[in-house]
Structure 1
Amino acid sequence: MAVCPVSPTPNISIHPTLNQAGNMSSLSIFTITLHGLFSSIGILENLLIVGVVGFHVRRSVISIWILNLAASDLLATASLPFFTLYMARGNTWTLGLTFCRIHSSIFFLNMFVSGFLLAAISMDRCLVVLRPVWAQNYRNVQLVGRICGVIWALAVVFTIPFYIFRDTIHLSDGKILCYYNYARLLPAEPFDLKSLCKQRKEALAFLKLFLSFLIPLVIIIVSYAAVNTGLARRGYRRPFRFVRLVVAVVVSFVLCWAPYHLLMIIEVTAPKGHHAGKLATNYLPMATTISFLNSVLNPILYVFSCPDLCKKIRHSLGAVMEGVLAEDLADFARRRSAAHKSVSTSEMVSKPKNIANPYKD
């Protein structure tokens, strides 16, 4: 198998999983525990949001946006247990090539979908404020649903290169990495392998940076600046609970993803052996963990920024508990009725068949 001249080992290592004595380091245990915690909380939160918004909230433009964000976050958090398993096994991938590519692609798919959706939501808010007549006539659930479909399709297309260049790489120490292999699908004409690998590595890093982070961030900033200007010009207050929600989600998106993209660019552009490159390589795995935190924070923001959604969740959980209690009470009543009937029958059997009538004769 062709492999790039630059070894991928430093880039994939989360932290030294085993110390010299062969035991797990405290930092590794902390990182694995953190991933497991993120995974458990994120899956439960996003399942709850998807269930409530998908089945208990009236279909609206806002609910469609939130449902798609939650679905993307659910995918990301659902992939975390496998990454936690990977770290727990000493940074060794044992789940095969195909699942390595699928698992890694889910991370990048969530990255693109989140960025595209936040940009689309910001533009939607901008149109509602600046073009209210158009929004009243054309903005509806069907249109937003189709836009979300296009966003998912584009995200899948942009994830394909990351799927193609993901590979399982066998190391001399017996470990198996699930990481990039830029030496796949080599061109037919003569080429310099080292230069080709560098070009592909930089291309994918800048593709992620621009399409999933910088361009959505510019759209978000411009959209909300236009909304703010439009409201100020008309003398309106800046209300909207949903605006509060979107601002919170956007801030969370920036804080969670900015370190990952910054360190990734430093890693691919720094000269070989440079201190900045080594620093980026060491801290990039932790930045990746922080980026996963975005999928855990979003459901919390939905609940605290939307009191109506909070009420729906409480109502749904209450309905579930009522259903469970009702089943238990019904079962208890049936058992009690059956026991009472059994006692009554036994009493009838134990009574004498012929009892003398004291008034006879």
Structure 2
Amino acid sequence: MLKLLVFSACIALHSASSLPTPSSPTVFPRVRSFQGFLVTSEPIDYGDSSEGKGLVPKLKFNVTKEVKEYLTGPLLTVFVPSIYTLVFIISIPLNIAAILFFIGKIRPSKPAGIYMINLAVADLLFVSLLSFKISYHFNGNDWVFGSAMCRIVTSAFFLNMYCSILLIMCISVDRYLAVVYPIESRIWRSPLKAVAVCGFMWFLASVGVTPLLMSKQDLHLTLNITTCHDVLDINQIKDFYVYFFTIFTSIFFFVPLIVTTFCYVRIIQVLCSTSTVKHSKRTRAIVMAVIVFIIFVACFAPTNVILFTHYLQLTRGSSERSYMAYLLSVCIGSINCCLDPLIYYFGSSQCQKQVARILCCKAAADRRRASEYTSSSKMDTFQVNISDPYKKLMT
């Protein structure tokens, strides 16, 4: 009996010693993105207690020294927003011009045109959201637009980026059908089906980012800044985010990557083996296919591979460096919004024909004006020669 009492006392002392003291912070072992730790010793705002609703604390989180250096360092506060600003300035007019030119001159009556105009809209919406990112990073990674706006901007940012990937995949499939199955694909490639496919791509991307829209994306830190999407507590749903982003990147990038790679490889093979097309046109088509594929891989592969790796690393511990690499790769990959109008619209043969037609009309008009000006200038010279003596008399 005495041994039982001593054993019970030891268990009680061990349990009491293992409880956290009031002064020690409660540590969340993992957060999505950078790691953060809840600080309970900070002053707490309990709200309006007169209505009986002041029992919910305003939580503040602390981060590691490495994360503090990332959040306050020049990479995130100078380099990233500078690149975003450059992309914003260049991409906005390019995509607007592409949309206006495409609707006004080319008229998207073919499936390829419908896919391309949807891609331009997705790129334009993506770039328009960069204004929030630019303000956020230049402001020292301090989000000042509110919690609801953080959720909206974050989900819309992912929505437009991955909808662009899906639409690029659709364009590659459409080109694959047109090149490899030129006769059979006439039944499959119709404007109505292209509109339906684009609508489904927008719907699929919207459903995919719904969890981001429904979950809290901002977090207040002891650095006196509020981050948006960069430091998040997922103590209660940590396992969900690990599975969510690995499945998300697999569906919205790795599957489109496989499909796009297959399509462009087959397109290049068919173009290389055909002899019915002029050598110059065939070479141009092959070069354009290679350029489009390289740009797609270079702009989107690093971002999604790092994101996929980042969430796999969360199961084993810290992943601050991988998330920092992800932020930089997203920044560099946003240049794709400047390249899409150049390679899909202004680089297309149809667009070039329209431009050549416009230039030819302008050249013909210039020649007419030049001939009219020549005849009129001869008459003016004759009149000047007659009036010169009169001018001299008036002086």
Same fold (TM over 0.5): yes
> 1:201 corresponds to which residue?
241
> 1:30 corresponds to which residue?
79
> 1:10 corresponds to which residue?
34
**Distance in 1 of aligned mates of 2:348 and 2:179:** 20
Q: Is 1:298 matched up with 2:340?
A: yes
> 2:121 corresponds to which residue?
71
Distance 1:288 1:3, change over 3 A: farther
- The Cα RMSD (Å) is 3.5
> 2:295 corresponds to which residue?
252
2:264 counterpart letter in structure 1: Y
Map 1:171-210; keep pairs closer than 5 Å: 171-179=221-229, 193=235, 196-197=237-238, 199-210=239-250
> 1:216 corresponds to which residue?
256
**Distance in 2 of aligned mates of 1:14 and 1:292:** 25
**Distance in 2 of aligned mates of 1:14 and 1:37:** 26
Distance 1:246 1:158, change over 3 A: farther
**Residues 302 and 309 in structure 1, CA contact (< 8 A), matched pair in contact too:** no
Identity percentage over the alignment? 24
Q: Please state whether the residue corresponding to 1:177 is helix, strand or coil.
A: strand
Q: Please state whether the residue corresponding to 2:219 is helix, strand or coil.
A: strand
**Distance in 1 of aligned mates of 2:102 and 2:240:** 40
> 1:154 corresponds to which residue?
204
Q: Is 1:55 matched up with 2:79?
A: no
1:281 counterpart letter in structure 2: Y
**Residues 202 and 269 in structure 1, CA contact (< 8 A), matched pair in contact too:** yes
Q: State how many pairs are aligned.
A: 301
Q: Deviation of residue 176 (structure 1)?
A: 1.0
Deviations 1:139-195 (A, max 9, x none): 2222212211111111111121222234221222321111178767xxxxxxxx46x
Distance 1:313 1:148, change over 3 A: farther
**Distance in 2 of aligned mates of 1:111 and 1:36:** 17
Deviations 1:74-131 (A, max 9, x none): 0110000110000111101111122211211122112321222122222222222343
> 1:269 corresponds to which residue?
312
Map 1:287-326; keep pairs closer than 5 Å: 287-303=329-345, 305-310=347-352, 312=354
**Distance in 2 of aligned mates of 1:26 and 1:217:** 29
**Distance in 2 of aligned mates of 1:101 and 1:280:** 23
Q: Please state whether the residue corresponding to 1:251 is helix, strand or coil.
A: helix
> 1:353 corresponds to which residue?
none
The normalised TM-score by structure 1 is 0.71
Distance 1:151 1:138, change over 3 A: same
The normalised TM-score by structure 2 is 0.66
Q: Deviation of residue 204 (structure 1)?
A: 2.6
Q: Deviation of residue 218 (structure 1)?
A: 0.9
Q: Please state whether the residue corresponding to 1:143 is helix, strand or coil.
A: helix
Q: Deviation of residue 235 (structure 1)?
A: 4.8
Query: Which deviates the most, 265-274 or 4-13?
Result: 4-13
Q: Unmatched 5+ residue regions in structure 2?
A: 1-25, 37-66, 363-395
1:48 counterpart letter in structure 2: A
> 1:126 corresponds to which residue?
176
Map 1:340-351; keep pairs closer than 5 Å: none
Deviations 1:186-230 (A, max 9, x none): xxxxxxx46x40x22222321232122211111112223333455
Query: Which deviates the most, 94-103 or 265-274?
Result: 265-274
